[in-house]
Structures are given as C-alpha cells and as structure tokens.
Structure 1
C-alpha cells in the first residue's frame, strides 16, 4: 500500500513537471519575480502603481538616507540600486508588451 502511494506521488510530480514545467513544490512557492518586485517596492517605499518618476524619486530619497557619506553602508546603496534597476526594468518590460 505504501509503495503504491509513493509511486503515485512520484508519477504526479513528474506529470506536473512535464505539463506545467515546474515541480509541485515550486508551484506552491509562487512567482519569485513577484516577490522580488514586492521587496524592491517595499525597500523604496512605493506602491505597485508607481511609475518611472516615482521610482527615481524614491531611490534618490533612499540614497540620501543610506549613502556611506551620511553614515550608511555600501551594501545599502547596492540594495537600493538593485531595487531601482529591477523596478525600472519591469516598467520597461510592461511598456514593451
């Protein structure tokens, strides 16, 4: 009985991978791109409807707080830059489609 259940679980996992292109546990995690975008928006303190100008302004404000010349760190600047770059790339992708 246990071997049948294990075999069924393995077959179901393989079918999911073949049909959906992802393993079942990957489907349960959600879209990592959406999570990265949400983290970037949270870091910059902007909402999902923010446009190009809002992203640039939020990045500028954040850099004023976290820049090493003002007591911040290089790591914080890199995180802010990465968040800005990600969101600007998403905006460009949406305009292109």
Structure 2
C-alpha cells in the first residue's frame, strides 16, 4: 500500500514539475530564428559586404572572392564551399 502512495506522489510531482512542451517549442523557434540571423550575418561577413546589400552586390562579391580561391586555380576547396554557401544563403537558393 505504501508503494502505491509513493508511486502516485512521484507521478504527481513529475507531471507538475516537468517542462511544458509549448515552452520548449517556443524556445526552439527563438533559437532557430537567432541561428538564422547569425548565419545571414556570417554570410555577409564572409562575402565582405554590408548587410542588406542587393543581389548584384552579392553576386559581384562572390565572383571577386571565388576567382582567387577556386580549387581549380590552386585555392582552398573548403573556402570556396563556404563562399558558395554564403551566396546561396543570401540569394535564398
């Protein structure tokens, strides 16, 4: 009998104290929005352009940077991949 009461008390405490799923989802959305904003800021910094630049400025910066670091010309494949990812992110591809 005592173990039934103890089990019920533990269950009641758990249901009362466990984190709410709604709060957790809202927190995930905020973290996702923060991460997206950080990624866009990092993409602008990678291309070396001001935030809010138009598509032509993004394409011009991409071309300018990629000519020097393209793997076919002895550049870094990782850096070229990062520059391409920044362009794709900013152009919403």
Q: Equivalent residue for 1:70?
A: 73
Structure 2: give runs of 5+ residues left out of the alignment: 1-12
Between structure 1 and structure 2, the one with the greater Rg is 2
* Pair 15,69 (structure 1): closer, same or farther in 2 beyond 3 Å: closer
Aligned pair 1:16/2:19, yes or no? no
Structure 1: gaps spanning 5 or more residues: 91-97
| Aligned twin of 1:48 | 51
Q: TM-score, normalised by structure 2?
A: 0.66
Q: Distance in 1 between matches of 2:47 and 2:30?
A: 27
Q: TM-score, normalised by structure 1?
A: 0.64
Secondary structure in 1 aligned to 2:92?
A: helix
Question: Which structure exhibits the higher relative contact order, with contacts defined as CA atoms closer than 8 Å and separated by 6 or more residues?
Answer: 2
Superposition RMSD on alpha carbons, in Å?
A: 2.7
How many pairs are equivalent? 81
The equivalent of 1:60 in structure 2 is 63
